[in-house]
Amino acid sequence: MEQLRETLKGHHLRTTTCREDVLSAFINKKNALSHGDLEGALGENYDRVTIYRTLKTFLEKGIIHKVLDDEGMRYALCSNNCSEEKHQHDHIHFKCNACGETNCLENLHIPAVQLPQGYKPENFNLLIQGTCPKCNN
């Protein structure tokens, strides 16, 4: 519980039960979550708009980042390098075709891409699909 409060305080956010519960869901699950996942887990306590606003705030403050997979938008915890000014998430995401979990592979970075003249990249997203170690056994 103290870790949750310290994380929120470190990102200049007021502590609320919703923020604590959403952050706790990310920490406990350890993989990318969709708005629907959070709504399913926390929907008895918070409406969908409150959860959406919490996700939006966490994105803006550098607590979570967007993960695009074949089912839509998911969110994952940022590493300690992210802040309100700069998201540092140039890593690969892996979606397991067996269990459906999407995970950040923090130690694998997206390879450099040389874009044609006139194109300016703003975001990178690389999703690899296959079978995760849990499902391989």
Taking the CB of residue 23, how many other CB atoms lie within 10 A of it?
A: 22
For residue range 102-118, list pLDDT tens digits in order: 998 988 888 888 999 99
93: tokens are: 């995401």
- Under the banding of pLDDT at 50, 70 and 90, the label for residue 125 is confident
Whether residue 15 is contained in a domain is answered as yes
User: For residue 105, what are the contacts with CB-CB under 8 A and spacing of at least 6?
Assistant: 91, 92, 93, 94
CA–CA separation, 99 and 97 (whole Å)? 6
Angle at Cα 29 formed by Cα 65 and Cα 38, nearest 5°?
Answer: 70
Query: 36-40, 54-58, 90-94: lowest mean pLDDT where?
Result: 90-94
CB distance 4 to 20 below 8 Å:
yes
Residue 87 predicted with pLDDT over 80: no
Q: How confident is the model at residue 78 (pLDDT cuts 50, 70, 90)?
A: confident
In a domain, 137, yes or no: no
Average pLDDT over residues 52-79: 91
Tokens describing residue 103: 């995970």
In a domain, 95, yes or no: yes
Task: Dig out the tokens for 92 from the structure.
Answer: 């690969």
96 is in an annotated binding site: yes
**Is 136 a member of any domain?**
no
CATH of the domain at 16: 1.10.10.10
Give the domain extent around 59.
Answer: 2-79+88-130
With contact defined as beta carbons under 8 Å apart, do 59 and 95 qualify? no
pLDDT at residue 76 is higher than 80: yes
54 lies in some domain:
yes
pLDDT at 88: 67
Is 99 annotated in a binding site? The answer is yes
Percent of the chain with pLDDT over 70: 93
Average pLDDT score over the chain: 89
